[in-house]
């Protein structure tokens, strides 16, 4: 099953690479690729013409994957801590239950039978 998943991901990666190559070929003016300027980078280097369209797409997807990874990491850490706290609570309750099971019962408990008194013959 893992092998099929990896083959599927490789096929998707190859399709994405072909798509990006075709995107780069389509976005040209006079055989020069179109460039995109990113805000706040032109202030650092005013002579920069920008980056190619496919580079901008790969850059934005990479940032999205990184942010998604960080969000998933924080969720995994919070769930792990919750599981650890629940396991410790279960362990405490199990110890308490075992202690109650092993506690000796006093022999001088009187059990009264009220059923014979309530029956009128």
Lookup: tokens for 90: 């279960």
The helix/strand/coil state of 28 is strand
Q: How many CA atoms lie within 13 A of 14 on its CB side?
A: 6
CB 40 within 8 A of CB 47: no
- pLDDT band at residue 121 using 50, 70 and 90 as cut-offs: low
The per-residue pLDDT of the chain, averaged, comes to: 83
Q: What is the pLDDT of residue 48?
A: 72
Angle between helices 53-102 and 2-26 (to 10 degrees): 160
Phi, psi for 104 (deg, rounded to 5)? -75, 145
Q: What is the pLDDT of residue 11?
A: 94
For the chain, percent helix, then strand, then coil, each to nearest 5? 65, 5, 30
pLDDT at 3 over 80: yes
Quote the pTM value: 0.59
Q: Identify the weakest region by mean pLDDT among 21-25, 43-47, 73-77, 97-101.
A: 43-47
pLDDT digits (tens, 9 = 90+) for 29-62: 888 888 888 777 767 776 777 888 888 888 888 9
pLDDT digits (tens, 9 = 90+) for 62-78: 999 999 999 999 999 99
CA distance 37 to 46: 10
> Among candidates 79, 60, 81, which has minimal Cα distance to 71?
79
Q: What is the pLDDT of residue 115?
A: 65
């Amino acid at each position: 099953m893992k092998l099929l998943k990896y083959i599927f991901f490789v096929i998707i990666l190859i399709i994405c690479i072909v798509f990006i190559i075709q995107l780069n070929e389509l976005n040209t003016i006079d055989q020069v690729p179109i460039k995109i300027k990113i805000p706040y980078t032109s202030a650092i280097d005013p002579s920069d013409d920008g980056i190619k369209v496919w580079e901008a797409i790969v850059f934005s997807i990479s940032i999205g994957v990184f942010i998604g990874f960080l969000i998933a990491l924080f969720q995994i850490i919070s769930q792990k801590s919750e599981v650890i706290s629940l396991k410790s609570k279960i362990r405490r309750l199990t110890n308490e239950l075992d202690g109650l099971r092993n506690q000796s019962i006093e022999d001088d408990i009187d059990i009264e039978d009220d059923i014979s008194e309530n029956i009128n013959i």
